[in-house]
Amino acid sequence: MVSVRSVVDRVGPTLLHAVYLPADCPAVADVVIAEPGATGHLGAGDLVLAVAAGKPEEASALIEAGAKHGSAAVLAKPPLVGRPALRRAAERAGIGLIEVHAATSWAQLVWLLRTVLDAIADESEPLENGEEGNAGDLFQLADAVASVVDAPVTIEDTNSRVLAYSERQDLTDPARVATIMGRRIPDDVLTRFRSRGVFRDLSKGRQTIFVPGQRDGTLPRLIVPIRMGGELLGSMWAVVAGPVADERAAAFADTAPVVALHLLRRRAHADVRRRASAELLRALLRGELGTRKAVAELDLADEPHRVVVIETTAGETVDGEGLRLALLERISHGIGRRFTAAEDGGLLYAVVADSGRTSAWAQLRDALAGIPSGRKTGALRAAAGSAAPLGELARSRRQAEETLGLLRAGVLDTKVPCFEEVWTELALHRAATAAQAAGITELGPLDAIRAYDTANATDYVETLFEWLRHPGDPRAAAKALRIHPNTLRYRMRKLLDIVPLDLDHPDVRLALLSQLIALRWA
């Protein structure tokens, strides 16, 4: 069963926007193009494309006909879809109404929607050889594009990562060779192109961008942005000998819509895999997934792993979700085996190997510790549970969440703490929580001391705590309080005047210390 909402979400807000979706919207079965003046071909669960509807009354009639045949939704473009009368018609008929981006080709949308429907239907089936959707076709397409422009070509995503490349790369320059070898444009080359305004021109939507050769031997480039419905999906880079004739450059640019379809199909398949992987990981962290399936489906080695929980807070320029996505992108490269992570309840959970044969946990910890926090970009907290077999990761998750709680409370100053390293703080916190629940702070003279502090702006509770924590060492206690030892002795004399206490009795000292720990740590 494929819902209209899931189809809209998979295609993405760049191309589709749900204007109205009834609560009982039928499941999607197919995609059909509404023929002018004929609606008999509409069926149950259809996504009906209002290609021929040019007037509000024609669109309203199509909505009524679609509802009569049990169709799932009608898709239309602005300005037609923005008419209030159209939404009212959809609400009366009980059928979904979806807005299609004005620049989207109907033919491309049909292909994309059917690809998404196929991907969702095949969600439980793994892709062959573990490859992302249509990877082999993308390399063949790169060869075809290269023949059009008569130059070796790379197809790259918006992060300058190489998705596919054509033949004849041996005729290029060292920068292109390094790009192919590293599967992305090297940082120094990227900086040079950025300084020449290449990426600024890409974002502006120019059809072709010519970059002359450089003194270091870098050959000229002819670059074409890959767009769909106004969204930049990537770019194609051809290494050329010099300026390209207008006809050939135009032919090169004309291949971009075809490549865009392949990139969208690739993204749909990748999204299906990510969602399936995330759901499996959440099941593993709940203790509902066996070791054998975790090894097979999540590509995890049967060795100890840690659960790392990451909490992000929004900044002035980056929201919490955006920071989590950027964080996942940054830390998921080069961390041992394939990185496995999923969101759950606004937190990011990562599972990383930690055994004598791998340093993946150490690499991840360093990567997290090296990510700066700021008022504009937001901040993160991260904590790890202890290493555990795959079948016991639910325990590691609980430990990671408990350690994160100490970070939130401000009682840890470690950048990325792990459970076994902060056992003293955890022991005190657990003891304090239990003691607080038992009401031990209500016993004895502690309430009287706290009331005196409140009424007289004194600090006898804190003084007593440090005095008990440093038995027989008033200098250490005074240092913790940032006062002179004589001041400490004076305070203790005054305290005993206010509340008589037998501090020579070990049980009295132990009871007071237990109460004060409960106040401080619970």
CATH number of the domain within which 187 lies: 3.30.450.40
pLDDT on residue 364? 82
pLDDT on residue 1? 67
Residue 494 lies in a domain: yes
CATH number at 97 reads 3.40.1390.20
Q: What whole-number distance in Å separates Cα of residue 32 and Cα of residue 48? A: 5
Q: Let me know whether 200 and 167 are in one domain.
A: yes
Classify residue 46 as exposed, middle or buried by CB count within 10 Å of its CB (0-12, 13-18, 19+). Answer: buried
pLDDT on residue 239? 94
Query: What confidence category does residue 126 fall into, taking pLDDT thresholds of 50, 70 and 90?
Result: very low
| Least confident piece of the model among 129-138, 298-307, 449-458 | 129-138
pLDDT on residue 154? 94
Which residue has 């191309």 as its token pair? Answer: 15
Compare 278 and 509 and report the one with higher pLDDT: 509
Would the pLDDT of 378 be above 70?
A: no
Residue 433 lies in a domain: no
Q: Residues 299-332: pLDDT tens digits?
A: 788 888 999 999 887 654 445 555 555 566 555 5
Q: Let me know whether 104 and 146 are in one domain.
A: no
Query: What confidence category does residue 120 fall into, taking pLDDT thresholds of 50, 70 and 90?
Result: low
Query: What confidence category does residue 62 fall into, taking pLDDT thresholds of 50, 70 and 90?
Result: very high
pLDDT on residue 14? 65
Query: What confidence category does residue 288 fall into, taking pLDDT thresholds of 50, 70 and 90?
Result: confident
Q: Residues 177-218: pLDDT tens digits?
A: 888 877 778 888 888 888 888 888 888 877 899 999 988 888
Q: Residues 455-514: pLDDT tens digits?
A: 999 999 999 999 998 988 999 999 999 999 999 999 999 999 989 889 989 999 999 988
∠ CA 416-420-426, nearest 5°, is 90
Please check whether residue 248 is in contact with residue 357, taking contact to mean a CB–CB distance below 8 angstroms.
Answer: no
Q: Let me know whether 422 and 475 are in one domain.
A: no
Q: Let me know whether 147 and 259 are in one domain.
A: yes
Q: What is residue 51's three-state secondary structure?
A: coil
212's CB contacts (< 8 A; 6+ apart) are 220
Would the pLDDT of 93 be above 90?
A: yes
Q: How many CB atoms lie within 10 A of CB 200?
A: 11
Residue 290 lies in a domain: no
CA distance between the termini of the chain? 48
CATH number at 314 reads 3.30.70.270
Would the pLDDT of 335 be above 50?
A: no
Residue 82 lies in a domain: yes
Query: What confidence category does residue 131 fall into, taking pLDDT thresholds of 50, 70 and 90?
Result: very low
Q: Residues 75-90: pLDDT tens digits?
A: 999 999 999 999 999 9
376's CB contacts (< 8 A; 6+ apart) are 315, 316, 317, 318
Q: What whole-number distance in Å separates Cα of residue 312 and Cα of residue 319? A: 9
Q: What whole-number distance in Å separates Cα of residue 84 and Cα of residue 364? A: 52
Final residue of a domain: which of 121, 151, 178?
Answer: 121
Show the domain range for 179: 135-264
Radius of gyration of the chain from Cα atoms?
Answer: 32
Final residue of a domain: which of 368, 396, 426?
Answer: 426
Compare 10 and 179 and report the one with higher pLDDT: 179
Compare 130 and 293 and report the one with higher pLDDT: 293
Compare 317 and 1 and report the one with higher pLDDT: 1
Please check whether residue 427 is in contact with residue 406, taking contact to mean a CB–CB distance below 8 angstroms.
Answer: no
Please check whether residue 1 is in contact with residue 26, taking contact to mean a CB–CB distance below 8 angstroms.
Answer: no
pLDDT on residue 309? 93
Q: Let me know whether 419 and 455 are in one domain.
A: no
Residue 272 lies in a domain: no
What's at 495, amino acid-wise?
A: L
Q: Let me know whether 215 and 307 are in one domain.
A: no
Residue 144 lies in a domain: yes
Please give the C-alpha separations between residue 41 and each of 31, 188, 443, in angstroms, as whole numbers.
11, 57, 80
Q: Let me know whether 372 and 315 are in one domain.
A: yes
Q: Quick one: which H or E segment has residue 306?
A: strand 305-313
Average pLDDT in the chain: 83
Q: Let me know whether 8 and 108 are in one domain.
A: yes
What's at 239, amino acid-wise?
A: V
Strand order in the sheet with 209-211: 162-165, 153-157, 231-239, 221-228, 209-211
Number of independent structural domains in the chain: 4
Q: Let me know whether 422 and 444 are in one domain.
A: no
Residue 431 lies in a domain: no
Would the pLDDT of 122 be above 60?
A: no
Residue 432 lies in a domain: no
Final residue of a domain: which of 121, 147, 177?
Answer: 121
pTM of the model: 0.52
